[in-house]
A = this chain, B = another copy of it.
Amino acid sequence: MSPRDTLTVEIPSRWVGPLRISGNAIDDEVEVPLATYESPLWPSVGRGARVSRMIEGGIRATLLDARMARSSLFVAPDAAGAFAADQVLHEREEELREAVAGTSRFARLIDVHTEVVGNLLFVRYALTTGDASGHNMVTHAAEALQALILSWDLGLEYGSISGNYCTDKKPSAVNGDLGRGRRVVADILIPHDVLEKTLRTDAKRMVDLVVRKNLVGGTIAGSLRSANAHYANMLLAIYLATGQDAANIVEGSQGITYAEEREEGLYFSCSLPHLIVGTVGNGKHLAHVDEALERLGCRAEREPGANANRLAAIIAATVLCGELSLLAAQTNQGELMRAHRSMERGRGSAAQRPAGTPGEEAQS
């Protein structure tokens, strides 16, 4: 391997914010790092962050669940055999729990979900994995569980360590229904004057757009369990900057933006049902990642999982900032491209542009 074969790819990155975030996993003002080739994303998230700072409590992030899942595939002679084995699995769940606990200090089995298709038995294990996203932990656990189950002589044969009912890095419904990663909702109530001055829109236009574009447009596009404008953009940028396995933006891209017009202003929310995130593990040892996590306050001494919960809340709030800003721009004919062109001209100096110039990225 010649020296030219080992190198690093440098992605432009910038800290944006701070965002004001409160909730059951964080109560703080934090700047967020966004690594992206699409520089208009910076001022876009920045505008949302500005809104968050104008409001008591800022963006509220509610963390609802945390788990990682892996499904293994077993092959029985027929459906009766698969079902018989399935029943034994549930009867002996305690043994499965012990086997998982033996593979890691942090891994704990919290759910075993099965599905029989013909003679195929899919077994989906869900684990808590502390501050790790848990990809490797759950695969190790699945390996141990599969070996254990096969040793029980239930008439099963090895099918695959992963049966795609997990599901990793593919769009799915199962992750929404059964959970995988952090389930988190970010929401905010934006007064009418902030909407007008900072976002140049109003509550009715925002709600109309959320319904028509995200929900109806998403429906005809066939966007499975998903209705948003561009979660993937924010996720990619913050995933790269914090050492996440960024291929998990595939699942992350599935989420629902929901808004209501109220007397006090606009209620605006981003629900991310399966946000994969970790503060330890692969990629987290790199210097810039370590630094980023430190600066985000995700390196503190906390109970296992709390740092990752905090990071999940921060990421959800970041998604909300970018989603809010892009949608606001799209309520106005022509604004998106005007901002984009101004950004293109001033590439590299977005931060110097006058406040109120969103520079939305054009995509989505």
Question: Nearest chain B CB to A180's CB is how many angstroms away?
Answer: 10
Chain A interface mostly helix, strand, loop or mixed? mixed
> How many angstroms between the C-alpha atoms of A263 and B249 in the bound complex?
40
Complex contact B37–A118 (CB within 8 A): no
Complex contact A165–B221 (CB within 8 A): yes
Complex contact A212–B73 (CB within 8 A): yes
Band of interface residues on A:
35 or more
Task: Say yes or no for A106: interface residue by CB 8 A criterion.
Answer: no
Contacts of A164 in B (CB 8 A): 213-214, 217-218, 221, 223, 229
Task: Say yes or no for A300: interface residue by CB 8 A criterion.
Answer: no
User: With A176-B220, A222-B225, A363-B169 as given contacts, are A212 and B143 in contact (CB-CB < 8 Å)?
Assistant: no
Complex contact B116–A243 (CB within 8 A): no
Complex contact B38–A161 (CB within 8 A): no
Can you name the residue of chain B whose Cβ is closest to the Cβ of A256?
Answer: B117
A1-9, A48-56, A91-99, A304-312: which lies at the B interface? A1-9
User: With A160-B209, A247-B232 as given contacts, are A363 and B168 in contact (CB-CB < 8 Å)?
Assistant: yes
User: With A117-B258, A118-B187, A250-B253 as given contacts, are A172 and B9 in contact (CB-CB < 8 Å)?
Assistant: no
Chain A 138-170 residues near chain B, CB threshold 8 A = 139-140, 143, 146-147, 150, 158-170
User: With A38-B282, A79-B185 as given contacts, are A267 and B165 in contact (CB-CB < 8 Å)?
Assistant: no
Point out the residue from B12, B212, B224 that lies within 8 Å of A224, measured CB to CB: B224
Point out the residue from B5, B71, B168 that lies within 8 Å of A230, measured CB to CB: B168
Mask for A12-49, Cβ within 8 A of B = 1, else 0? 11110000000110000001010101100000000000
> How many angstroms between the C-alpha atoms of A37 and B136 in the bound complex?
13
Task: Say yes or no for A129: interface residue by CB 8 A criterion.
Answer: no
Mask for A79-114, Cβ within 8 A of B = 1, else 0? 110110010000000000000000000000000000
Task: Say yes or no for A325: interface residue by CB 8 A criterion.
Answer: no
User: With A160-B212, A249-B247, A362-B135 as given contacts, are A174 and B171 in contact (CB-CB < 8 Å)?
Assistant: no
Task: Say yes or no for A64: interface residue by CB 8 A criterion.
Answer: yes
Point out the residue from B31, B162, B211, B224 that lies within 8 Å of A211, measured CB to CB: B211
Task: Say yes or no for A196: interface residue by CB 8 A criterion.
Answer: no
User: With A118-B258, A209-B160, A267-B78 as given contacts, are A171 and B253 in contact (CB-CB < 8 Å)?
Assistant: yes
Contacts A165-B220, A169-B232 aside, 19 further interface pairs with beta carbons under 8 A come to A8-B11, A9-B240, A10-B10, A37-B245, A38-B245, A62-B79, A64-B116, A117-B185, A135-B362, A159-B213, A168-B230, A168-B364, A170-B253, A170-B254, A171-B223, A173-B225, A211-B215, A215-B219, A232-B247
Offer 6 A-B interface pairs, CB within 8 angstroms, sorted by A.
Answer: A4-B15, A62-B80, A73-B212, A119-B269, A136-B362, A172-B223
